[in-house]
Chains A and B, each alone.
Chain A
Amino acid sequence: EAQVTQNPRYLITVTGKKLTVTCSQNMNHEYMSWYRQDPGLGLRQIYYSMNVEVTDKGDVPEGYKVSRKEKRNFPLILESPSPNQTSLYFCASSPLVTSGEGEQFFGPGTRLTVL
């Protein structure tokens, strides 16, 4: 089954404790992206990647890191989480047609709480 998986689905952590949220897709998509969703603000793009070893900042990259060592995986790293990073996070992938025209396939989301 074609899908995007994220782990963990739920995480409660404390300020400053490094964490990684994994994202994996099995559709051989070039484009992958991370979003956070907050009430009233909608989805905001954190980072995106056009292919292996090619990443770029979205609208809200501060406090986050990503890597794309393999085509299928795109982990999101919070080196020192803070309470303002409490949010619902979505990973997405799509074929890279042109300028993001491909349909975005989203993972199920990770609900993160930073105390």
Chain B
Amino acid sequence: RKEVEQDPGPFNVPEGATVAFNCTYSNSASQSFFWYRQDCRKEPKLLMSVYSSGNEDGRFTAQLNRASQYISLLIRDSKLSDSATYLCVVTYTNDYKLSFGAGTTVTVRA
């Protein structure tokens, strides 16, 4: 079983729609969580960190559920430019390794 799992999608949504997806992690020693965005085989870039209390950055909302061991990303009012692959990243207590999910692909159509 992979340490970090994501629904690969694709999520195909119209402009203006809301789309949400989850990332599950198996290691309870997981400490920090992030969402990265990757465009078409380019380098990943940090979208947002995920805090225990949940956090929002414009149209993007990230939440953490430690009890059920998953994080989520919600995109409101989708734009064409939101089309990308979203990678979930997990770090661990007392360990300098990082684990990436395989990514969730979102396609926003006009």
Q: Which of A42, A50, A101, A106 is within 8 Å of B91, CB to CB?
A: A101
Q: Which of A86-115 contact B (CB under 8 A)?
A: 88, 90, 96, 99-101, 103-104, 106-109
CA separation between A109 and B41, bound complex, in Å?
Answer: 9
Instruction: Give chain A's interface residue range (CB within 8 Å of chain B).
Output: 20 to 34
Query: Smallest CB-CB separation from A48: which chain B residue?
Result: B96
- How many Å from the CB of B47 to the closest CB on chain A? 10
Known: A42-B103, A50-B96, A59-B97. A100 touches B46 (CB 8 A): no
Query: Smallest CB-CB separation from B103: which chain A residue?
Result: A42
- How many Å from the CB of B10 to the closest CB on chain A? 13
A41 within 8 A of B: yes
Q: Which of A59, A100, A109 is within 8 Å of B96, CB to CB?
A: A100
A44 within 8 A of B: yes
Instruction: Determine whether the beta carbon of A109 is less than 8 Å from that of B42.
Output: yes
Instruction: Determine whether the beta carbon of B44 is less than 8 Å from that of A31.
Output: no
CA separation between A90 and B43, bound complex, in Å?
Answer: 7
Instruction: Determine whether the beta carbon of B44 is less than 8 Å from that of A106.
Output: yes
Query: Smallest CB-CB separation from B29: which chain A residue?
Result: A99
Across-interface contacts of A88 in B (CB, < 8 A): 41
Q: Mark A9-52, 1 if CB is under 8 A from B, else 0.
A: 00000000000000000000001010101001111110010100
Instruction: Determine whether the beta carbon of B87 is less than 8 Å from that of A99.
Output: no
Q: Which of B70-110 contact A (CB under 8 A)?
A: 87, 89, 91-103
A56 within 8 A of B: yes
Across-interface contacts of B89 in A (CB, < 8 A): 104
Across-interface contacts of B87 in A (CB, < 8 A): 42-43
Instruction: Determine whether the beta carbon of B43 is less than 8 Å from that of A109.
Output: yes
B32 within 8 A of A: yes
Across-interface contacts of B36 in A (CB, < 8 A): 104
Known: A41-B102, A42-B87, A42-B103. A104 touches B46 (CB 8 A): yes
B66 within 8 A of A: no
